[in-house]
Amino acid sequence: MDLELNFEISRTAEFILSRGFSRVALQFPDDLLKHSTKVVTCLRNKLGSGNKVGLFVMADTTFGSCCVDEVGASHINADCVIHYGHTCLSPTSTLPAFCVFGKASISVSRCIEKLSSYVGTNGKPIVVLYGLEYAHAISQIKGALVEAMPNAEVELIFSDVMCSIINPLEDHGKSDGLVGCLAAATGTRYSLGGLTWDLPEGRRMENYLLLWIGPENSAFSNVVLTFNGSEIVRYDATEDRLVTDVSQQKRILKRRYYLVERAKDANMVGILVGTLGVAGYLHMIHQMKELIMLAGKKAYTLVMGRPNPAKLANFPECDVFIYVSCAQTALLDSKEFLAPVITPFEAMLAFSSGSQWTGTYVMEFRDLINSSQLEVRKRPEEARFSFLKGGYVEDFEPQENEGEDNDRALALANATEKALQLRDRGPDSLVKGIAKSGAEFFVTRSYHGLETHANSSMPEPYLIGRSGKASGYEDERSEPETL
């Protein structure tokens, strides 16, 4: 591997020197960590011995490896972060970053052969998207594909990489105008996953054939979900094959719709903090708290790094979790989790009154900040029908000063007394939640932990345990073997 070429040593050194950084954090994903020492050596030689620039390798990330780890960089008081490998290009909060995408291997001739044969028989206008690791070869692919096109009248649009330098977003409450598709869909500019492209006036993505060059990863899943109304074809450069059937990926939409219906019946909601560096994450957390509270539900904010089934199992009182993270780590396969994990966009669908899923899907939570919010789902005069429970459900009333009772013991007793019981699940029965706070849930549990005898102040005598090996403890008398 040519380190100078693949890791862009010269451009990285120019970025560091031009901005006068003295402490630089180098963020490597797990698959590139083996090259970190060689990269540091090459970068040190390029910077020169006279420059006292401190280079620090970050071997692990706090959350997803695609995001700039500002938390880890702050531990060494870094001035900037050099991010290597796959990235979501999400704006940072405090530190500038320089992204090195890498240069994945791809045969331009084989790619053109596969694409031109399919494009020639389709006839639709084309938008070409790709993984950022193939950005180095896109100019060659573009020129060769235009020459190989049998029909020169077919419209061909190639997306561009927005930038490789990420600067902190000054106003975290606003989107930068090039992120996501919610704001861009009203005009002619679209953007997703660090790519941006323009369509002619009056044209939409549903009118185009979408060609994706890259593997089947989280970036491709975002493309499928966001542009689920478009025909999508994927070229896998590693296996050198053209995949025209993406129905398996589109089935994710059905799963997500099911999770939205489950979230509507939730009483307690956990907000999972999936990033501490993406600009605007605090605004989204506050917005989710307000949405949950006005919907008459209880919200708990949890920070635990990368969520897994074992971690979330410690919070059985939560009926659903909202994962606030970057777009490429937002979709968690929660089949193994005790409670479903949804995105902020799905939470707005679940907890907003009169909302219906039209098929449009928003991955970037920053596109939801300060957007035209739907009316919050308040307690209706009549119960609503739950498709999952098979009956009518009456939601809780929002309580403005809940949790501010002076007498905590009395507040807990009152909450327990108000706990609603589950009635007969007939077709016309009314179903209500059993608990609407963590305290109520704890009271209704059959197991509360180890019992403590608070009335007895006398210490118990200690006992000496058994000693020896498990095959024969010292206090065990060995029996003679019988023949």
Whole-number Å distance between alpha carbons of 422 and 36: 58
**Range from 164-173, 187-196, 201-210, 322-331 carrying the lowest mean pLDDT:** 164-173
Q: What is the mean pLDDT of residues 348-377?
A: 73
Nearest residue to 135 via CA among 169, 99, 110, 160: 160
pLDDT at 461: 81
Residue with tokens 């620090």: 56
Q: What is the mean pLDDT of residues 162-183?
A: 59
Instruction: Name the band, by pLDDT with cuts 50, 70 and 90, for residue 381.
Output: low
**Range from 63-77, 93-107, 143-157 carrying the lowest mean pLDDT:** 143-157
Q: With residue 25 as reference, give the H or E element that holds it.
A: strand 23-27
Question: CA–CA distance from 190 to each of 132, 136, 180, 184, 209 (Å)?
Answer: 16, 21, 7, 5, 15
Rg (CA), the chain: 28
pLDDT at 479: 60
Helices (DSSP H) in 308-419: which residue ranges? 309-312, 344-351, 408-417
Q: How many CB atoms lie within 10 A of CB 68?
A: 32
- Looking at per-residue pLDDT, the higher value among 280 and 14 belongs to 14
Strand 241-243, strand 268-273: pairing: unpaired
Q: Both tokens of residue 203?
A: 């044209």
Whole-number Å distance between alpha carbons of 90 and 365: 11
pLDDT above 70 coverage of the chain, percent: 75
pLDDT at 420: 34
Q: What is the mean pLDDT of residues 68-80?
A: 91
pLDDT at 42: 94
**Range from 126-130, 259-263, 297-301, 413-417 carrying the lowest mean pLDDT:** 413-417
pLDDT at 214: 92
pLDDT at 438: 66
Q: Both tokens of residue 268?
A: 């307690």
- pLDDT at residue 201 greater than cutoff 90: no
Give the full edge-to-edge strand order of the sheet including 156-158. Answer: 156-158, 126-130, 209-213, 231-236, 241-243
Instruction: Name the band, by pLDDT with cuts 50, 70 and 90, for residue 447.
Output: low
- pLDDT at residue 295 greater than cutoff 80: yes
pLDDT at 85: 92
Residue with tokens 């954090």: 25
For 430, how many CA atoms within 13 A lie in the half-sphere containing its CB?
Answer: 7
Whole-number Å distance between alpha carbons of 403 and 75: 36
- pLDDT at residue 105 greater than cutoff 60: yes
pLDDT at 60: 79
Helix axes 281-294, 344-351, angle to 10 degrees: 20
Average pLDDT, the chain: 79
Whole-number Å distance between alpha carbons of 113 and 115: 6
Instruction: Name the band, by pLDDT with cuts 50, 70 and 90, for residue 288.
Output: very high
Instruction: Name the band, by pLDDT with cuts 50, 70 and 90, for residue 115.
Output: confident
Whole-number Å distance between alpha carbons of 353 and 374: 7
pLDDT at 341: 94
Nearest residue to 111 via CA among 84, 130, 92: 130
Give ∠ CA 6-7-10 in degrees, rounded to 5: 110
Q: How many CB atoms lie within 10 A of CB 124?
A: 14
Q: How many CB atoms lie within 10 A of CB 17?
A: 14
pLDDT at 71: 87
- pLDDT at residue 126 greater than cutoff 60: yes
- Looking at per-residue pLDDT, the higher value among 61 and 379 belongs to 61
- pLDDT at residue 132 greater than cutoff 90: yes
pLDDT at 407: 47
**Range from 27-31, 199-203, 296-300 carrying the lowest mean pLDDT:** 199-203
Q: What is the mean pLDDT of residues 267-280?
A: 88
Region of 336 (left: φ > 0; alpha: ψ -120 to 50; beta: rest) is: alpha
Whether residue 269 contacts residue 393, with contact meaning beta carbons closer than 8 Å, is answered with no
- Looking at per-residue pLDDT, the higher value among 48 and 97 belongs to 97
Nearest residue to 192 via CA among 158, 157, 168, 162: 162
Instruction: Name the band, by pLDDT with cuts 50, 70 and 90, for residue 180.
Output: very low
Residue with tokens 């606030």: 324
Residue type, 263: A
Whole-number Å distance between alpha carbons of 102 and 452: 59
> For the purposes of burial, counting CB atoms within 10 Å of the CB of 474, is it exposed (0-12), middle (13-18) or buried (19 or more)?
exposed
**Range from 50-54, 206-210, 424-428 carrying the lowest mean pLDDT:** 424-428
pLDDT in tens, 409-422: 344 434 444 443 33
Residue type, 250: K
pLDDT above 90 coverage of the chain, percent: 29
